[in-house]
Amino acid sequence: MNQVLAPELDFTDYKSDVTPVWCPGCGDYAVLSAILKALAALRLPREDVALISGIGCSSRIAAYTSVYGFHGIHGRALPIAQGLKLARPELTVLCAGGDGDGFSIGGNHFLHACRRNLDLTYIVMDNAVYGMTKGQASPTSAADWSESKLTPEGPGVAPLQPLDLALTAGASHVARCFSGKVQALTQTIAEAIRHPGFSFIQVISPCVTYRPEMREYKTLVHESFTEPCTDRREARRRLIDDDGFSLGTLFKSVEPSYKPLRHEPESLDALERQFSL
Ligand SMILES: Cc1ncc(C[n+]2csc(CCOP(=O)(O)OP(=O)(O)O)c2C)c(N)n1
Ligand code: SF4
């Protein structure tokens, strides 16, 4: 995280003048609000922060903040965010998007971003559906979720477990939050930004249009990960009893990050010579 403090700003100063086009009641509004509040609480200068996203309703979030942003390509937010962090390590880099963007088309990148453990914060607004393309099943939809016309009998395969994947692949800060609990979400995002490594936050964020039953999730979530584990195997053991609604920071540990070898070529000629056959 950048160490320079901005003059005190209100969280609304981190908001852009673009009006969100999300459906009324979409959980992503609360996630946006939590990100803005976390940036203000940490007093991060806006010019030192970048928010990278992919494609999807949730990925629109980059346009709604006044920090630097990149509304990228479906499933490729993490490669862009990692490239930026490697090129400009002094920046605070956040990455955000949906479960389709992050675990389906972008699933491969998610695993390898966890392995590299670069100092990034990755926020996935998980609504267990492809909202933008009108309600298809996503990798986190239940096997028997049968509301999509494309999968009238349900996707028929067990959903991915994002926390388990992140832990196994090497993320060094792993948490789950609910969009309906903005204060806890704000605090978790701020902690994730402060954490020196790859932080993954799965945010259960209801899609009220294609998954109206998610409105009731507020009665199902429960604070269970009250103290983060610092032992990866112990954290995985805690997931055995997870019903998918346990909230809190599951795992946190300071671990080495990938460091690319930097050797600057002396000249363009020298660079060309390296590739000549
Ligand atoms: C390469 C590519 N494939 C497919 C699409 C179509 N597409 C746009 S958004 C999306 C899924 C969005 O779902 P998710 O990431 O879960 O975000 P949500 O809209 O639910 O927030 C898909 C398949 C695309 N834009 N680009
Ligand atoms: S379709 Fe769903 S995810 Fe997209 S804006 Fe509407 S409620 Fe949110």
pLDDT tens profile 128-151? 999 999 999 999 999 999 999 999
pLDDT of residue 260: 83
How far is 167 from 61, CA to CA, in rounded Å? Answer: 26
Tell me the whole-structure pTM to 2 decimals: 0.95
- 39 in a structural domain: yes
Ligand nearest to the CA of 59: 1
C-alpha of residue 205 to centroid of ligand 2, in Å: 10
pLDDT of residue 271: 82
From the list 136, 134, 75, the residue with the least C-alpha distance to 101 is 75
Atom of ligand 2 nearest to the CA of 206: 7
Residue 157 — very low, low, confident or very high, per pLDDT cuts 50/70/90? very high
Average pLDDT on 16-31 reads: 98
pLDDT of residue 27: 98
How far is 50 from 103, CA to CA, in rounded Å? Answer: 22
How many domains does the chain fold into? 1
What is the DSSP track for the chain?
---PPPSP--GGGGB-SPPP-PPTT-THHHHHHHHHHHHHHTT--GGGEEEEE-SSTGGGGGGGBSSEEEE--TT-HHHHHHHHHHH-TTSEEEEEEEHIIIIITTHHHHHHHHHHT-SEEEEEEE-SSBTTTTSB--TTS-TT---STTSTT---SPPP-HHHHHHHHT-SEEEEEETT-HHHHHHHHHHHHHSSS-EEEEEE---TTT-GGGGGGGGT-EEEE-S-BSSHHHHHHHHTT--S-EEEEEEE-------------SSHHHHHHHH--
Residue 50 pLDDT > 60? yes
- 3 in a structural domain: no
Instruction: Give the model confidence (pLDDT) of 73-126 as tens digits.
Output: 999 999 999 999 999 999 999 999 999 999 999 999 999 999 999 999 999 999
Instruction: Give the model confidence (pLDDT) of 246-256 as tens digits.
Output: 999 999 999 99
How is residue 47 written in tokens? 């010019």
How far is 132 from 68, CA to CA, in rounded Å? Answer: 23
User: Domain limits at 185?
Assistant: 11-275
pLDDT of residue 8: 81
User: Hey, whose CA ends up nearest to atom 6 of ligand 1?
Assistant: 133
Residue 178 pLDDT > 90? yes
Atom of ligand 2 nearest to the CA of 134: 1
From the list 88, 41, 96, the residue with the least C-alpha distance to 64 is 96
- 227 in a structural domain: yes
pLDDT of residue 225: 95
In the chain, what percentage of residues exceed pLDDT 90? 90
Query: Best of 55, 208, 214 to mutate for ligand 2, by most ligand atoms within 8 A of CB?
Result: 208
CB atoms under 10 Å from CB of 21, counted, come to 10
Is the CB of 104 inside a 6 Å radius of any atom of ligand 1? no
Average pLDDT on 11-15 reads: 96
Residue 3 — very low, low, confident or very high, per pLDDT cuts 50/70/90? low
Length of the chain measured in residues? 277
In the chain, what percentage of residues exceed pLDDT 70? 98
How is residue 68 written in tokens? 């630097």
C-alpha of residue 131 to centroid of ligand 1, in Å: 8
C-alpha of residue 223 to centroid of ligand 2, in Å: 25
- 248 in a structural domain: yes
Residue 31 — very low, low, confident or very high, per pLDDT cuts 50/70/90? very high
C-alpha of residue 136 to centroid of ligand 2, in Å: 12
What CATH number has the domain bearing residue 47?
A: 3.40.50.970
Average pLDDT on 20-28 reads: 98
C-alpha of residue 118 to centroid of ligand 1, in Å: 25
pLDDT of residue 4: 75
Query: Best of 31, 103, 133, 151 to mutate for ligand 1, by most ligand atoms within 8 A of CB?
Result: 133
Lining ligand 2 with CB less than 6 A are 22-23, 26, 28, 57, 127, 131-132, 207-210
Atom of ligand 2 nearest to the CA of 21: 5
From the list 111, 235, 226, the residue with the least C-alpha distance to 173 is 235
Residue 152 pLDDT > 70? yes
- 5 in a structural domain: no
Is the CB of 98 inside a 6 Å radius of any atom of ligand 1? yes
